[in-house]
Amino acid sequence: MIRTAGLTKRYGDLTALDGLDLHVAAGTLFGFLGPNGAGKTTTIKLITGLLRPTRGDAWIGSHSILTEPLLAKAHFGYVADTPFLYDKLTAREFLEFVGALYGVPPDTARTRAERLLKLLELEDAADALIEGYSHGMRQKTALAGALLHDPPVLILDEPIGGLDPPSSRRIKQLLRGLTARGRTVFLSTHVLEVAERLCDRVAILDHGRLIAEGTLDELRARAPGTASLEEAFVALTHGAGDRDIEEFLEGTEAGDPEGDEGGAPPAGPGPALPRR
């Protein structure tokens, strides 16, 4: 349901994404991981048509995001890491607006909106302006908008950040239920425990390049001696081990050698200031 071929994005001398080839099958909950600055959000913006690639292409189903953008966009729902919402609308008005954009018949849009507001526990605030919503409520409103037209693909960039534990659990159950019914979820997250518990397959991006892709067992096999996704992730991305933390803490316990000699700087006048 999602495919990229040679997907590349350059900004002058900086290569943010370098020749990404991905295949995400229908009904898969696909985790997309990487350190800060690895190129995850750039990838998502390319797949959703918010950025134009330097080279390569992406497809949603059979539709190219470059040559058939409207058809491709009709087949997915998208939640950005910081979703844009219209602050002067209520959640109910926002969902009505989204339904109109996607050509959902008004009666169908209203019925789906009411079900989503109830599902995501937004009923009590549905007629309040979005500008007064908390971060978590805004995330849930954006997710409701992404689901309103019942797309076969969901593309989510950090959808659980800022949610309280009950809401987070509810969203995770929803995502698993959607994939069990044939929907495809492309999930970018920094919370590796979420990826480990939810995802069928995982891809790891580092410095704009795909360095690993597979099931959790396959990723652990690529990093012998690792028991968790977090350990495999650190090993595969060449993250710093724990020794530098231990050395820092040992230095903290021992004290700063220079500070031991001199202690606090002596009191007295500071450096002379130049005259004008």
pLDDT of residue 64: 98
User: Quick one: tokens of 207?
Assistant: 């410095």
pLDDT band at 60 (very low <50, low <70, confident <90, very high): very high
Q: What's the rounded Cα separation, in Å, for the pair 99 and 130?
A: 17
pLDDT tens digits, 177-220: 999 999 999 999 888 888 998 999 999 999 999 999 999 889 88
Each residue's pLDDT tens digit, 119-168: 999 999 999 999 999 999 999 999 999 999 999 999 999 898 778 999 99
pLDDT value of position 241: 54
The whole-model pTM stands at 0.85
What architecture does CATH give domain 2-75+151-256?
A: 3-Layer(aba) Sandwich (3.40)
Q: Are 194 and 160 in contact (CB under 8 A)?
A: yes
Report helix angle 106-119 to 91-101, nearest 10: 140
Q: Which residue has the higher pLDDT, 257 or 147?
A: 147
- For residue 273, pLDDT over 80 is answered with no
Checking 122-129 for CB contacts under 8 A at 24+ apart, the result is 122/91, 125/91, 126/90, 126/91, 126/92, 127/90, 127/91, 127/92, 128/90, 128/91, 129/87, 129/88, 129/89, 129/90
Instruction: Report how far residue 76's alpha carbon sits from residue 57's, in angstroms, rounded to the nearest whole number.
Output: 16
For residue 118, pLDDT over 60 is answered with: yes
Distance CA 57, CA 114 (A): 37
For residue range 8-46, list pLDDT tens digits in order. Answer: 999 999 999 999 999 999 999 999 999 989 999 999 999
Amino acid identity, residue 77? G
> Does residue 253 surpass a pLDDT of 70?
no
58 exposure class (CB count in 10 Å sphere: 0-12, 13-18, 19+): buried
- What is the arithmetic mean of pLDDT over 102-131? 97
84 or 57: whose pLDDT is higher? 57
Token output for 52: 């134009």
Q: Are 63 and 75 in contact (CB under 8 A)?
A: yes
pLDDT for 276:
47
Query: Counting Cβ atoms within 10 Å, is residue 118 exposed (0-12), middle (13-18) or buried (19+)?
Result: exposed
Window from 15-29, 80-94, 186-200, 248-262 with minimum mean pLDDT:
248-262
Amino acid letter at 191?
Answer: V
